[in-house]
Amino acid sequence: MPQNVLGVIGGSGFYQMKGLDKVELMELETPFGRPSDPFYQGRIGDIEVVFLSRHGRGHRILPSEINFRANVFGMKQLGVTHLVSVSTAGSLKEEIHPGELVVPNQFIDRTFKRPETFFGDGLVVHVSLADPVCANLAKDLVAATSASGAKVHDGGTYLCMEGPQFSTRAESNLYRSWGASVISMSAMQEARLAREAEMCYAALVLVTDYDCWHESVAAVDIGEILRVMNLNVDKAQSAVSALAHTLGNRPRSCSCQDALKNTIITDGTAIPQRLIDDLRPLVGKYL
């Protein structure tokens, strides 16, 4: 039976994965360049866990500068089957308070500078992203977060903006009118690429503020964001650790593991061999 491997991409404030045993530092090269940072590979209970700091040590990489493809491809190279991305966000709903957590089940993409696929250059692939989050993994993540004592909202829509500036008030109110729940700058590309990599994917969002729409907020205050973020990080660490114990080596029963099946449109004889070799971790079982 294939073993599960849990990948964790940590965002602002979540720069390391506590509780990892037998840790190895893995420096990887990918067909898409170098990832944000070295990967930390270890174990929590019975499951292997791989951690990556999205913004790099010292938080030196802007959201628009993140090499999302290298990050997720590196996770695939290391055998990751389940990927959780942790990020901070502003709340777009009154009932989602700073200090609480959200496990969204939908996304709206408002980015425009970022590569969004592993494919192209002679290989055309169209995967479904109707439901970008693995329902099974999200359910487990909600339960693990709740068990850690945190207030967690099950479901909601994550609006991914380009940044690095925060929203104008007009934008913030527009996104609220669309029904978005939280706003942040990073998880959308990870959701897209995880689907193409046939990983189960879920996001854990640490709510730090009310963006700028709320009448109690003069503007987004980075000092207040950092204060609430630091309070939330321990909750997120505990939730991810509990998730690792829950997953163990339970068989995958979702369709994520076959997301590329029947999605490769290009005739196999027309695909450059170099491309097949580069992308073998993704397409090897189909080509």
Residue 131 has pLDDT above 80, yes or no: yes
For residue 84, report the phi and psi dihedrals to the nearest 5 degrees. Answer: -115, 125
Beta carbons within 8 Å of 58's beta carbon, 6+ residues apart? none
Q: Which tokens in the block code for residue 251?
A: 């068989």
Of 166, 172, 70, 81, nearest to 118 (Cα)?
A: 70
Q: Name the strand (E) or helix (H) holding 7.
A: strand 5-10
Q: For 270-281, b where at least 16 C-beta lie within 10 A, e where not — what string?
A: ebeeebbebbeb
Domain-by-domain residue ranges, the chain? 5-283
pLDDT at 93 over 90: yes
Counting other chains too, the contacts that 24-28 makes at CB distance below 8 Å and 24 or more residues apart are 26/50, 26/78, 28/74, 28/77, 28/78
Structure tokens at 15: 């720069």
Q: Please, which pLDDT band fits residue 21 given cuts at 50, 70 and 90?
A: confident
End-to-end CA distance of the chain: 23
In the numeric block, which tokens belong to residue 195? 């689907």
- DSSP lists the bridge partners of residue 204 as 86
pLDDT, tens digit, 9 for 90 and up, residues 106-127: 999 999 999 999 999 999 999 9
- Burial of 282 per CB tally in 10 Å (0-12, 13-18, 19+): buried
pLDDT in tens, 172-207: 999 999 999 999 999 999 999 999 999 999 999 999
- List all residues 6 or more positions away from 133 whose beta carbon is below 8 Å from its beta carbon: 103, 104, 105, 106, 191, 201, 202, 203
The verdict on whether omega for the bond into residue 164 sits within 30 degrees of 0, i.e. cis, is yes
| Dihedral angle over CA of 136, 138, 143, 149, nearest 10 | 170
pLDDT digits (tens, 9 = 90+) for 221-257: 666 666 766 777 888 888 999 999 999 888 999 999 9
Give the C-alpha separation, 154 to 145, whole Å: 10
Which residues are annotated as catalytic? 209, 211
CATH architecture of 5-283: 3-Layer(aba) Sandwich (3.40)
Q: What is the pLDDT of residue 81?
A: 98
Output the pTM of the full model. Answer: 0.94
Q: Using CA atoms, how far apart are residues 35 and 256, in angstroms rounded to an integer?
A: 23
